[in-house]
Amino acid sequence: MRAARQTVESGGFSEAGLKRLEAVYGPHPGLAGAAVLSCYRECQKTAPDCSQHDANPRYRTEFLALLDGEIGNFEKLQDLHQASRDELAAALRETLSILPNSDPSRILRSKADQDAQNYRTKLLCYRKQRTED
């Protein structure tokens, strides 16, 4: 997105900038992505010569403001994702340090065994209830 912003600032609304945005948002963009792509395409239509980035400064300013908002949203999501990864890693380290014989594969097998036992218990209760009815 920063590369697309730089393209608009230096060369206007070129096809290269559109390709960069399409690469970021993919073939099925969400609402925010569709708004950014739509605004870019609209700005492309208003400037017949895409190399003249000063042809429509109002559209350029509007698009750059929209893109800056999207860049901010991506950065916030990245920060939240990093924070949740750090919290998860800390919780996992704490769990492994508390448990004796903290073999991760053993812990996972134990969890799978508990899940299987819970499923069998629920299945038995369901069958018992069906026979009583």
* pLDDT tens track for 72-111: 888 888 888 877 777 777 777 776 666 555 566 666 677 7
Same domain, 56 and 83: yes
How does the average pLDDT of the chain come out, rounded? 79
- Residue type (1 letter), 82: Q
Same domain, 30 and 67: yes
Q: Decide which of 51 and 97 is more confident.
A: 97
Secondary structure, 3-state, the chain? CHHHHHHHHHHCCCHHHHHHHHHHHCCCCCHHHHHHHHHHHHHHHHCCCCCCCCCCHHHHHHHHHHHHHHHHHHHHHHHHHHHHHHHHHHHHHHHHHHCCCCCHHHHHHHHHHHHHHHHHHHHHHHHHHHHHC
- The reported pLDDT for the residue numbered 13 is 83
Same domain, 81 and 108: no
Same domain, 127 and 69: no
Same domain, 94 and 108: no
Same domain, 86 and 133: no
Same domain, 90 and 26: yes
- Contact yes or no for 38/31 (Cβ under 8 A): no
How many domains does the structure of the chain reveal?
Answer: 2
Same domain, 111 and 88: no
pTM of the prediction? 0.53
Same domain, 9 and 65: yes
Same domain, 31 and 91: yes
Give the domain range for residue 9: 2-98
- The reported pLDDT for the residue numbered 86 is 77
- How far apart CA 40 and CA 27 sit, in angstroms, is 16
The sign of the CA dihedral 58, 62, 64, 68 is positive
Tokens of 55: 């042809």
